A and B are shown apart, each in its own frame.
Chain A
């Protein structure tokens, strides 16, 4: 790839111009990063009492230990060596040589480098070295052929420096992405260019970093961009239907990670505004209530614009941890930010699914009335299925990104703790206790408890349903909520039906692709008969074409499930969250009704006493105090109720916007990918005709 060449030479320049600064930079930065990883890794190990019996890692441990004892006392020397190592590995030629001669060796070296750069004297495994290997065991990388060692090494070295600049990381990620051979005219050049452009926001966030030396690399990066920008503009203007995701249709697993996040988050602020203006224009003739809604929606958007805390969250590297009984998948959560909320601009922590659920419940408790972005549903069977893990990873990432985009939730201490805490489980327990104590929504504890226990039971929706069922009937004072409740119910119903239908279609497409494959195989056998050369070629080609169609079908199903399917799934869960907020409100409403009747009773008894027992001033005084406290209590509940009602109204307004945004986007992706696959189908048949039949005339 052209980009690689560019990258490596650029690295060479940097290294040769001022190697010492760079190495310092590396060591300090990596050290920061690694200490975080290490500590959380340790924590993790203690928690689960599990032994990683990975030979490679132990090898690295040993190596690192040896190196440490030998060279620990001389830090400058070690730094220098690191520098040497870095340059050696980065130079493509040499890399190739070392890679082809002994790939294992160079792998170990990268581990060695990172261990050498560590400030703390301990030996540990760096995340950067570990992750690709782990990746390899979980997801068998298609690029990893026996002959591809050189390439792999490059990847790994790039990964080891990935913490320095995010563009490199993105690029290296993408390199793993499998690209289908297609008759596209847009070469890889354009796509790499685009990547560069896409990743630029990350650079700007890093520019303001405290770490001085980083500035060097960033500067050159941005210079690079400047030189490319004219061509870039032209390209952008010229490519009529640009559609990023379709370019790598086979690999939504990987590409979504890097693509969907920036694109989805990128549009939201600007397009939200415009859509709202469009709405208000179009709907000026609507009834006042809807106008009120519109106004609220608009207000919502301004809020959203004001919240500019920039959190780049990536959930990645799913790793299967633990033995048979305590097996689970750990995800690494990487956060890049320029805000002061987090201790360091880059944070990497390891979290498991349970932790995400904790965060969800915690946010629900501490933010009553807010629609908290939900984690994916629990699943008992097939938890280590690759597809499932990827879908879950994607959903978890969506959850965190959505939380980070919500101005009310992004600053939440629990969320921040989740993003950076090294001793998560203990802190989580403390916080939970604190939240329970401080929470005035005592009634909610039941809900939360039932949510907590829903792990053993059947999903949290059912528990909510239970909560609904034993709630006594209260007359709903607000017409708005009545409407909304039925609306949400209907929406839930329709989304479910939609998803079910979509799943049926996708499932059927799987069958279709299986039968197509059989069909293709049988055609192949007919061609083997060699009745005549031309006809046997024809059958051969036809069989190949059928196989291609099968592949295209598979890709399309995967796409559909990942775009429309995952959006639907997410919204079904969000609807669940909304229902939770409704039930929270209902409980407050119940409290309100209770206190009101109590107040009335007190008032009545007070009146009675006041009327008939004027002489018992003491009693009257007592009653008066009681009445006052009750009134006070009633008022607090009332304000609380109003508060929660307003919050929910707020949230529903932004929910509407987001819903339209998300669905429009996912439908657009769905449509575009379907169009692409349709084009492919046309192309396949046209090519088939061209090659085999056009001459027959």
Chain B
């Protein structure tokens, strides 16, 4: 903590390395390794700092290596100690404070807009934190708007944390859908879990106020403020970010930013894709209707007119399924991406806040420097005005204190962010997998539905006449019904793929309305034929094993 070295003006003259002090101090301060390398609050640090930025960093790194080799454990302990000092919440083994929340319901009441935008979340809460009045709270009701203001407060009050972004108030399933209820509920549960896993956040007394306030009455009691907001923030963001010694965080912001941007782009494209799919499904419906109309002209051939009807219906069904699929895509992938977008946005802004604070620190450092110069000037003067000297010393102290404060704050932020960064990346990884899993499973389910819909109409196409269509070429003696009336997918695997045993096949897929469909379709009248051939079971899989190797 070089900055915490008390600046004695008397000593300063004697220190030839004092000139670049603010910068070198900065270097050392923000490089945790450099800090670890040196025994803290030692004058020797100043000597380290004299080398200027680059060398200082190099040394820091070298030292880190050395430290790993030589001192290993003791250094780790030192680091731990430092961290414990910086972020006591994370190293508080004594109390083991925690909050448990179980979300059990969502109410959507009031106007349509309110239903959609402002649901009420109902949850139970239990805690061992002392500032809560009760150990457990049952049936706490909070509206989405309250959540929003709580989130806003947390975001401002905890610059060292990546606050998990609030889940959306509704999903793309549509609020009337049961899937939506489940999904929103589990989203809030996940959000609480993430908040509660953060020891810094649960210790915030605002949490208590949030919980203990009545429904719809909560507004942040403490004030939380971002380092800069509005136009100022925008302008500051345009500037080159201040030099950041913590490479990890320096690289993290652009990464998060591009995640944010790319995910946004993806979402945009996904929405475009789904818009197209929606119109496509409408067109398919239209096409299906037109096909059905064709049967009016097919007076002489009942098989053909049946074909037109059934085929048209199938096309309409396909269109409907496509429309469902596109909604599902939005609900699974789209909502998931949006969550990533929101999270990465919050993190990006948190990192920006850190940059802003770092800028403040630089200002404070130069301010201290200025005060220093003033004091020096005064000292060199012959006639010393004691009042002036006192003033100068006082302002120098103030400035130094402020600088110290900021330095500490930034150190805390840096350390905590490093921890939360890795946590977030892990979470993101998991989240992406989860999103894709959900998406792919739904997709498979409906693509399979499409397939079975298509295969159901096969029989109508082939049985236009008893010949059985093109597919019968060369196999006229093979029982017709057997070859047609078979779905290529089943619980034991797909016919076209022998390798995979476990598929995402749902039992309800084939059974539902097949029977009535079959009754409608014209039956071939070679039942006798069928029975005699019943025992010879030849399908593609069998044949492959019968044939074995090559045939020539």
Task: Name A residues whose Cβ lies closer than 8 Å to a Cβ of B.
Answer: 2, 6, 183-186, 189, 193, 197, 227-228, 231-232, 234-243, 263, 266-267, 270-271, 274-275, 278-279, 282-283, 290, 293-294, 297, 487, 490-491, 494, 497-498, 501-502, 504-505, 508-509, 511-512, 515-516, 518-519, 522-523, 525-526, 529, 531-532, 534-535, 538-539, 542, 656, 660, 663-665, 667-669, 671-672, 674-675, 678-679, 681-683, 685-686, 688-690, 692-693, 696
Report if B458 contacts A (CB, 8 A).
yes
Assess A693 versus B433: contact at CB under 8 Å? Given A275-B465, A508-B276, A675-B458.
Answer: yes
Partner of A667, one of B258, B307, B465: B307
Q: Per-position contact with A for B433-465: 1 when CB-CB < 8 Å, else 0?
A: 100110011011001101100110110011011
In the complex, the answer to whether B494 meets A526 with C-beta atoms within 8 Å is no
Q: List residues of chain B with CB within 8 A of the CB of A519.
A: 266, 269-270, 273
- Least distance between B16 CB and chain A CB atoms (Å): 46
Report how far A267 CA is from B503 CA in the complex, Å: 38
Q: Per-position contact with A for B245-288: 1 when CB-CB < 8 Å, else 0?
A: 00000000001001100110110011011001101100110110
Residue contacts A-B, CB under 8 angstroms, 24 given: A2-B552, A235-B543, A237-B478, A243-B470, A274-B466, A275-B467, A278-B465, A283-B302, A501-B283, A501-B286, A504-B286, A505-B284, A505-B287, A508-B280, A512-B280, A518-B269, A526-B262, A534-B429, A534-B433, A660-B301, A664-B469, A665-B470, A679-B451, A685-B447
Q: List residues of chain B with CB within 8 A of the CB of A293.
A: 300
In the complex, the answer to whether A663 meets B451 with C-beta atoms within 8 Å is no
Report if B532 contacts A (CB, 8 A).
no
Assess A236 versus B496: contact at CB under 8 Å? Given A278-B466, A665-B469.
Answer: no
In the complex, the answer to whether A279 meets B433 with C-beta atoms within 8 Å is no
- Least distance between B249 CB and chain A CB atoms (Å): 15
The 6 A-B pairs at the shortest CB distance, nearest first, are namely: A238-B543, A231-B551, A275-B465, A501-B287, A271-B467, A678-B451
In the complex, the answer to whether B283 meets A660 with C-beta atoms within 8 Å is no
In the complex, the answer to whether A538 meets B454 with C-beta atoms within 8 Å is no
Q: List residues of chain A with CB within 8 A of the CB of B539.
A: 238, 240
Q: List residues of chain B with CB within 8 A of the CB of A227.
A: 552
B 195-241 contacts with A by CB, 8 A: none
Q: List residues of chain A with CB within 8 A of the CB of B425.
A: 531-532
- Least distance between A513 CB and chain B CB atoms (Å): 10
Report if B384 contacts A (CB, 8 A).
no
Report if B43 contacts A (CB, 8 A).
no
Report how far A290 CA is from B440 CA in the complex, Å: 54
Report how far A696 CA is from B317 CA in the complex, Å: 34
Size class of the B contact interface (CB-based, 8 Å): 35 or more
In the complex, the answer to whether A234 meets B543 with C-beta atoms within 8 Å is yes
In the complex, the answer to whether B297 meets A491 with C-beta atoms within 8 Å is yes
Q: List residues of chain A with CB within 8 A of the CB of B381.
A: none
In the complex, the answer to whether B432 meets A535 with C-beta atoms within 8 Å is yes
Report if B130 contacts A (CB, 8 A).
no
Binds A, one of B166-174, B347-355, B483-491: B483-491
In the complex, the answer to whether B300 meets A263 with C-beta atoms within 8 Å is no
Partner of A238, one of B263, B300, B547: B547
In the complex, the answer to whether A512 meets B277 with C-beta atoms within 8 Å is yes
Q: List residues of chain A with CB within 8 A of the CB of B112.
A: none
Q: List residues of chain A with CB within 8 A of the CB of B467.
A: 267, 270-271, 274-275
Report how far A522 CA is from B436 CA in the complex, Å: 16
Q: List residues of chain A with CB within 8 A of the CB of B512.
A: none
- Least distance between B73 CB and chain A CB atoms (Å): 30
Report how far A177 CA is from B150 CA in the complex, Å: 64
Q: List residues of chain B with CB within 8 A of the CB of A663.
A: 304
**B499 closest partner in A (C-beta):** A183
- Least distance between A689 CB and chain B CB atoms (Å): 5
Report if B428 contacts A (CB, 8 A).
yes
In the complex, the answer to whether A515 meets B276 with C-beta atoms within 8 Å is yes
Assess A667 versus B461: contact at CB under 8 Å? Given A189-B550, A685-B440, A693-B440.
Answer: yes
Report if B504 contacts A (CB, 8 A).
yes
Report if B291 contacts A (CB, 8 A).
yes
In the complex, the answer to whether B429 meets A239 with C-beta atoms within 8 Å is no
In the complex, the answer to whether A505 meets B474 with C-beta atoms within 8 Å is no
Q: List residues of chain A with CB within 8 A of the CB of B546.
A: 234, 238
Report how far A186 CA is from B539 CA in the complex, Å: 13
**B451 closest partner in A (C-beta):** A678
Assess A679 versus B488: contact at CB under 8 Å? Given A505-B287, A518-B269.
Answer: yes
**A293 closest partner in B (C-beta):** B300
- Least distance between B132 CB and chain A CB atoms (Å): 37
Assess A682 versus B287: contact at CB under 8 Å? Given A239-B543, A275-B467.
Answer: no
Q: List residues of chain B with CB within 8 A of the CB of A689.
A: 437, 440-441, 444, 504
Report if B293 contacts A (CB, 8 A).
yes
Report how far A532 CA is from B279 CA in the complex, Å: 36
Partner of A240, one of B302, B436, B486: B486
Report how far A542 CA is from B466 CA in the complex, Å: 44
Assess A696 versus B437: contact at CB under 8 Å? Given A184-B496, A491-B297, A515-B276.
Answer: yes
Report if B387 contacts A (CB, 8 A).
no
In the complex, the answer to whether A686 meets B547 with C-beta atoms within 8 Å is no
In the complex, the answer to whether A669 meets B451 with C-beta atoms within 8 Å is no
Report how far A279 CA is from B475 CA in the complex, Å: 22
Report how far A271 CA is from B307 CA in the complex, Å: 17
- Least distance between B212 CB and chain A CB atoms (Å): 39
Q: List residues of chain B with CB within 8 A of the CB of A186.
A: 540
- Least distance between B505 CB and chain A CB atoms (Å): 10
**A227 closest partner in B (C-beta):** B552
In the complex, the answer to whether A231 meets B301 with C-beta atoms within 8 Å is no
Q: Which of A228, A241, A266, A529 has the most chain B CB within a 10 Å cutoff? A: A241
Partner of A664, one of B286, B304, B433, B444: B304
